[in-house]
Amino acid sequence: MGWTRLQTVSDGERDTADDPINRPRIMRETAMYEFCLPFVAGRRVVDVGCGTGFGTALLAKQAGSVIGVDPHPIAVETARAGYQADNLFFRQMDGTSLDFDDASIDVVVSMGVIEHIKRYSAHFTEAARILAPSGLFILGALNARLSLGDDAYHYKEFDHEELKELMDRHFIDVEVYGVRGVTPAAIADWEQRIARAKRYWRVDFLRLRRFYFFKCFYRPLFNYLQRRGRKKRHTGNTSGITSIRSSDFSINKEDLPTAWNFICIGKKP
């Protein structure tokens, strides 16, 4: 799933791409997908966790062919209805069991999927299996060091060192990049979201929400808080966030511990 899963499915984790409240997150993901474009040009690409397909469609502008896969049928149906191109396809599929032949894909893109997979090592193994020699695995993920651990749909979050270690087990020439906002509008939105989440979760002073066992019980509360937060933001002034563009975010190797997200790139031997 894209790390913010832009889906038209009714739970707290999945949002619609046309909602202006979601624009900062959409633009951050857009920046991450745009970063991938030079690596996918003319190549056979699989986008794992495609959600409603906006990122997959962006990749299709440069790739030879792109198949977006997602385990949720509603997401796949929405993607098929929303995006069409001769080189663009969507299939229902799980990220730990990819229905592709060995060494049949040039690039596997996985944006914000790893946090949602309990058997995350299997995702790396499957990506490596379907990649052709010298094929690329491009992984996007949250920075666990900055996360509040409040997402009820995340099994585990990772810092850059953990991601590098996981990537090194399966790929060579691994590089890690950090993603962060660089304009006042993007930074202000990020800080406001963090402050709002801290207010919501101050009752959980033991931080039990970081343990998946407890997350299963508080998912209804998480969904309620997400809906309540969106409704409240809709009543306020949204002019600042609707002006945010993908260019408001930078992606580089500087100061990785403070990055908001990571992009890791590894090559199959």
- pLDDT tens-digit series, residues 174-213: 999 999 999 999 999 899 888 876 776 666 555 555 665 5
**Residue 60 CB neighbour total at 10 angstroms:** 24
Per-domain residue ranges for the chain?
Answer: 20-267
Q: 199 vs 229, which has greater pLDDT?
A: 199
Q: What is the b/e burial string over 86-113, where b = at least 16 CB atoms within 10 angstroms of the residue's CB?
A: eebbbbebbbbebebeeeebbbbbbbbb
Alpha helices for 115-253 (secondary structure H): 120-130, 160-170, 184-200, 212-234, 239-242
Q: With bands split at pLDDT 50, 70 and 90, how would you rate the model's confidence at 152?
A: low
Tokens 């379907």 belong to which residue? 130
From CA 171, how far away is CA 267, in angstroms rounded?
5
| pLDDT range class, residue 1, cuts 50, 70, 90 | very low
Residue 234, pLDDT score: 47
CATH of 20-267, one of 3.40.50.720, 1.10.3720.10, 3.30.70.20, 3.40.50.150: 3.40.50.150
Greater model confidence, 234 or 149: 149
How many other C-beta atoms are found inside a 10 Å radius of the C-beta of residue 85? Answer: 12
Residue carrying the six token digits 């969507």: 90
Contact (CB, 8 A) for 72 and 7 = yes
Cα–Cα distances (Å) from 189 to 29, 55, 155, 177, 194, in that order, read: 15, 22, 26, 22, 9
Radius of gyration of the chain, Cα coordinates, nearest whole angstrom: 18
176: three-class secondary structure by DSSP: strand
Model pTM score: 0.84
Pairing of strands 261-267, 172-181: antiparallel
Long-range Cβ contacts of 66-72 (<8 Å, 24+ apart)? 66/40, 67/91, 69/93, 69/95, 69/98, 70/1, 71/95, 72/7, 72/9
- Which of 120-134, 150-164, 204-218 is the most confident on average? 120-134
Round to whole Å and give the CA distance between 202 and 225.
Answer: 13
Query: Which amino acid is it at 164?
Result: K
Q: What is the pLDDT of residue 4?
A: 34
Per DSSP, the three-state class of 74 is helix
How many alpha carbons lie under 13 Å from residue 30 in its C-beta half-sphere? 15
pLDDT, position 240: 66
